[in-house]
Structures are given as C-alpha cells and as structure tokens.
Amino acid sequence: MNVLIVEDERSLSHEIEIYLTKQSFNCDVAFTGKTAADKIHTNSYDFILLDLGLPDMDGLELLKDAKKSNSEASFIVITARGEVEDKITGLDLGADDYISKPFALAELQSRMQAILRRKHGLKNNTMSIHDFVMDIQNRTVIANGQSINLTKKEFDLLHYLGLHKNRVLTRMQLTEHIWGDVLEDDYDSNYIDVHVKNLRKKLAAHGSIDWFETVRGIGYRVNA
Amino acid sequence: MRLQIKFAIYNALSKALIIAAFGAALPIVVEKVVYNHIDKRLIARSERVLKIIQRGGINDIIAEQDCSFESYSILKEEFVAIRPILSTEKTPPVQIIKNEEWVIEGENMNHRIIRKPFIYDNQLYELNIGEGLSTIDQLKSTISKFSLYMMLGVVLLSIFIDLGFVRILLRPFNRIVTGKLQPTISPTSFNFTPVPSSTYEFNQLDHSINEMMQKIRDAFLIEKEFISNVSHELQTPISILQNRLENIILDEKVPEEVTFKLIESQKTLSRMSKIIKALLLISKIENDQYLKNESVKIVELLDEVLEEIEDRLQQRNIQLVKQFYDDLQYEPCNRTLMFTFFFNIINNAIKYNKEGGSIIVTTQKTETNFVVEIKDTGIGIEESQIKNIFDRFKRLNQSSAEGYGLGLPIVKTIAAFHHIEIKVESQLNEGTVFKLIF
C-alpha cells in the first residue's frame, strides 16, 4: 500500500510516517502543494493524506487536480480548521473521509481500513477474533452460530480493538474513537470502562474471552 | 412611540394651545369693542335728548312735573327713561355707564345703560338710556363657537399635514433605522450603501454609522480570522505531540512507568485541545458562524442524548425518570448545537449528582411556552453562586467530578443563539432544576 502524506508540518508528517510504516504501509511525503502535485502526477498511490492548510496552495484545489490524475487513490482530508464548509466541500470534491487535528494515529489507521473495506467490497467484510466472528456490514457478532446483541458503542469498541489486535489501545484512544464528535467537559472520565464491562459480560456468555486483556493503567488489548 | 407621531402630537398640541388662548381672549376683546361703540352711541343719544329738553322744555315729554317718563321700542331693545330725583336720594351727580337689569313691563332685561343727571327748572332729573345686550351675548357665543370649530379644524389639518411632512422629512432617518440597523444581525451583513438625504444631520448620522460599522466589521473579521488562526496554530503542535506520544507508547522497549507518564501527558494534551475546541465553539456561535435552518423534535433529541449518556448514568448508578408529556417541533435551530445543549445540561446533572441519585427530565407545554425541566438530586448550588455558573472557567464545586468549566458557558451561548430562556433553581444538598423555556 502506497501512501502519500501531504503535510507542511514536518514533525507531524514524520510521526504519521513512522506509524504507518510500522503498519506496513510504504510512505512518501510532500511538504508543499507543488511537490505534492508533482508526486501525484508521476506516481500512483493507494492513499493520499492531504492537509488542507498548505502554505503555497489551496488544499481543495490540489484535491481537485489530484482526483483527476490519481483517480484510483483514496483521499483523506486533514484539517485543523474544523470548518464545516471545508468538510462539505472536501467530501463533495471526492475525498473519502475527513479527519480533524488533533487525531489519534490509531484512528487514522482505522479510517484507512474502513475505506479499504468499502473499496474492496464484501471480501474483507468479516473479522474473526477467536470464536467470535464480526460481520462488519450488518454490524453483528456471531459465536457458535448464535448472534450476540451488542449496542452500537460496544460493537465499535470491539471492532476497533480487533483492528488493532495485539496492541494496547489507551482509554483515550478508545474514547476518542467512540465519542469523537461529542465535546466532552470531563478530562478524567473512564466511561469507556462501563462499555468494556458490559461488552465482556455479553461475550463471556458465549465463549472464553481470555484474549480480551486489561492492561493495567493503560487500556485494553485484544490478543490474537 | 415613533418619532413622526411624536412630532405630529407636539405640533397639534402647540397649535391647540395657541388657538385656545386666542379663543379665550377673543370674546373679551369683542366685548370691549362692542361696548365702546354702544357707549358712544348712548352718549350721543343722551346729548340729543338733553338738547330736545332744552329746546322744547321738559313738559313736552313729561306730562306733569315730578312725573316719570319711560319709552321703549317694541322689542324692548332700547328705552329712554327720565325721572325726577327726590332730594332725599343720594345719587352722585355724575354720568355713569354700566350694565344693569332693567324692568320693562315686569320683564327683567339686561341692558347697557347710560345714567345722566341734569337739572331742569330747579329740579334734578335723571336720564336713563338703555340698549339691550341680548344681541351682544349672542355675538359673543357665536364668536366662541366659531373659534372652537376653527381650532378643531386647524388642529386636524395640521396633524394631517405634519404627519405627511414629517414623514417626508424623516424618510432618510427611517431608512437608516429600518433599512440598515434593524435587519443587521451581524456586522458582516450590514448594508453600507449611503442613504441619500438633503438634511445635513441625517447625512452625518448615516456617515458615522457606516464608519462605525466598518470598524466593527473589521474588528469582527480580524477576530474571526484570529480565532481560526489560533485554533489552527495550536491544534497543529498539539497534534504533533499527541502523535509522537502515541508512537512512543507503541514502542515495546519503553518501561511501564514511563508509559504511565506518557498516558498522563496525553490526557493533558487532550484537555488542552478540548479547551481550545470549546472556546472556538463558543466564539463561533457568538459570531453567528452556525446555520440555524434545521428542525428537531425535542423529545426525539432528548432520547438521543439520553441514549448517548446512558453509560454515565450506569457508572454513577443514577436513575433516570422520563416524563415527556408534550413534544415540540422546534425550528429553526441547529441540530448539532441543540444536541450539545441538552447533552451538557444532562451531563452536568449526572456529574453533580450523588451516587445512586436520580434525574427527572420533563417536557411540558404551558399556556405560552414549551418547557423542558431537568431536575437532579445532586449536591446543589448555593443561592449566591447560581448567577456565576455560566461564567467561563468557573468551577464552584471542587467535588470528585472534574471539568474545564466550559460546559455551562457553552449551554448559555447556545441558548442565546436560539433565544431559549434558562432558569436555574437550586437547594444546597437537595438538587438543582434547570428550566429551559422555549
């Protein structure tokens, strides 16, 4: 998977690159709109992560051009402005998703995987975690032929942990994934624990959940 | 009251006053003039009578000496009377003119009378010549009536003319007020086209308003840009730090104690980012950067919020009671903001509740409004502190619940944006009621 990171903040670009490289993506970076445009013309990418606030070019213009020359690529627009109009225009111009700064890298990766899933149709549409099979399309979990009734948040939680299996996800990463848009007034809330507790109870009724690990002081991990 | 009407009333009243004064003075003047004429006539007549007496003797007129004589016209409007004065009578021997009741054939009539003493044949006589005043009274009343009608007519006419004139005169002023100032919700939507006028003051006013608005608009745009820039400039470094921490935490070589500290640092960063987002949200609402063009069913939205917040209720073991008696299709509004509005209030009710407490959410139509009431059995707020709860960064209760102190300021801003009235009643250690009046 080839990824082009178009971001004028070198440090940020670098962190994204480190993370995605670890997740076996081939990363290329561009710090200006002009280099980005050149790279998009000459190479072919699966993903283009595009910061709208470029110093030399309007990000939305670049998006329009890039869509023509790299029509196979998936675009994720990154912005710090958080303007609704930007979001709508970006999506109108053919961006596949939109993410506002600051975001968790784990969240970025899950968005990329969601796009992949959509693009490749039904093939990758289930996820197995030991005895449990998640149907992503229909948002159901089946164990031993029995369907388990999960709430939306419980399903998202399990899915997110499954996507990042064998890695600890912190409570904050999980919280931001589940409540992304809700502007929270608490900074030390562990409501995520309530959902994990409920989720575990439901899953445990259908099989062993030894794989669902609590990492003390940090968060949770799904081992596979 | 409109300026135009005030002008018209003032003009009408001032005219009425002038005419009333004129109307009151007129009968007196008329009386003076008429009396003057009558008096001259009476004096002339009395002199003629005296001449006749001197020429022809009094006996032609009075049959016998010491007898009285009286003659009057058919309508008793005029009379001449001569009578001898007895020496015992004390009459001043001078001529006087005055109004007096004169009895003619048993009928009392008001007359203007000249009384003139004269001596004839060593006998003192008194000559009385009178003229009836009934016509004069009539004249006076006619003039009064005329002036009253005149006054009414002039006042009405002047109100009519003044309204029209003042309207034309004030047209540029009205254009400034109703065309420019009233429809302006935000300085960016202000209409800068000058209002043409031949009145110096209006031109000056229009010019000054335009100039001031221009300044406000510039400041407003600068602020808007500043907020956008600040949020951009701050969110980017936060983003870098957050992602860097994330990458370090992922590194398995990092010892556990360090990981804990990194996670704490991540929380601090997230707190910073959320404060920025909250401030940005408040200023964006205050700057009218949100659209207000959606429609929501209040009960549906409340249900959505309560579902979202269910885990918090569960965690603190708080019982929720829904009493949805009525619903309201609320429009125009901004759905996202309305969601945040209810979310923050109910979240507050959970945060400042007691473990195992309860929350009652009621929706009800009253005669004039739609009211949503959110009542908790929490720790309550001191009476004197209620007014402060909507202030930014004010945390009144240093309880276990922590927050940025921006939840209720956001609520207040959204309420102002939608013109929702909020009433807070609270009893320390008993609980708090938020009344939201739509």
In this prediction, residue B248 carries a pLDDT of: 92
Who wins on pLDDT, A200 or B152?
A: A200
Q: Decide if A103 contacts A12 (C-beta within 8 A).
A: no
Q: Contacts of residue B344 in chain A, CB cutoff 8 Å?
A: 185
Q: Output the pTM of the full model.
A: 0.66
In this prediction, residue B179 carries a pLDDT of: 82
Q: Contacts of residue A173 in chain B, CB cutoff 8 Å?
A: 246
Task: State pLDDT tens for residues A44-60.
Answer: 899 999 988 888 888 88
What residue of A is the nearest CA neighbor of B406? A185
Answer whether residue A186 shows pLDDT above 80: no
Nearest to B311 among A101, A183, A195 (CB): A195
* C-alpha–C-alpha distance, residues B392 and B278, integer Å: 10
Please report, rounded to a whole number, the percentage of residues in chain A having pLDDT higher than 90: 34
Who wins on pLDDT, B132 or A111?
A: A111
Q: Decide if B361 contacts B325 (C-beta within 8 A).
A: no
* C-alpha–C-alpha distance, residues A23 and B325, integer Å: 54
CA distances from A25 to A90, A110, A223 (A): 24, 13, 22
Question: Which residues of chain B, if any, have pLDDT below 50?
Answer: 400
CA distance to partner chain A, nearest, from residue B275 (Å): 9
In sequence order, what are the residues at sequence separation of 6 or more whose Cβ sits closer than 8 angstroms to the Cβ of residue B372?
B298, B302, B342, B361, B362, B363, B435, B436, B438
Asked if the C-beta of A167 comes within 8 angstroms of chain B's C-beta atoms, the answer is yes
CA distance to partner chain B, nearest, from residue A137 (Å): 22
Please state, rounded to an integer, the average pLDDT across all residues of chain A. 86
* C-alpha–C-alpha distance, residues A215 and A196, integer Å: 13
Which of A27, A185, A186 to mutate to probe the B interface, most B CBs <10 Å?
A185
In this prediction, residue B400 carries a pLDDT of: 47
Query: Strands B319-324 and B358-365, how do they pair?
Result: parallel
Cis status, amide bond into B187, omega within 30 of 0: no
In one-letter notation, the amino acid at residue A64 is: K
Q: Decide if B115 contacts B94 (C-beta within 8 A).
A: no
Please report, rounded to a whole number, the percentage of residues in chain B having pLDDT higher than 90: 24
Average pLDDT over residues A200-221: 90
Number of CB atoms found within 10 A of residue A175's CB: 21
Nearest to B281 among A18, A183, A195 (CB): A183
Check A19 against B243: CB less than 8 A apart.
yes
Half-sphere exposure of B258 (CA within 13 A, CB side): 10
Asked if the C-beta of A135 comes within 8 angstroms of chain B's C-beta atoms, the answer is no
CA distances from B148 to B12, B20, B144, B184 (A): 14, 8, 6, 49
* C-alpha–C-alpha distance, residues B271 and A187, integer Å: 6
Residues 419-438 of B with CB under 8 A from A: none
Query: Strands B329-333 and A2-6, how do they pair?
Result: unpaired
Which of A10, A184, A198, A199 to mutate to probe the B interface, most B CBs <10 Å?
A184
Who wins on pLDDT, B46 or A92?
A: B46
Asked if the C-beta of B199 comes within 8 angstroms of chain A's C-beta atoms, the answer is no
Nearest to B246 among A101, A105, A184 (CB): A105
Residues 54-93 of A with CB under 8 A from B: 80-83
In this prediction, residue A15 carries a pLDDT of: 95
Q: Contacts of residue A81 in chain B, CB cutoff 8 Å?
A: 228, 231-232
Q: Contacts of residue A217 in chain B, CB cutoff 8 Å?
A: 256, 259-260, 263
For residue B422, give the 3-state DSSP assignment.
strand
- How long a stretch of residues is chain B? 438
What confidence category does residue A86 fall into, taking pLDDT thresholds of 50, 70 and 90?
Answer: low
How remote is the C-alpha of B55 from its chain's centroid?
83
Query: Strands B319-324 and B69-72, how do they pair?
Result: unpaired
Asked if the C-beta of B343 comes within 8 angstroms of chain A's C-beta atoms, the answer is yes
Which of A101, A108, A154, A194 to mutate to probe the B interface, most B CBs <10 Å?
A101
Number of CB atoms found within 10 A of residue A113's CB: 16
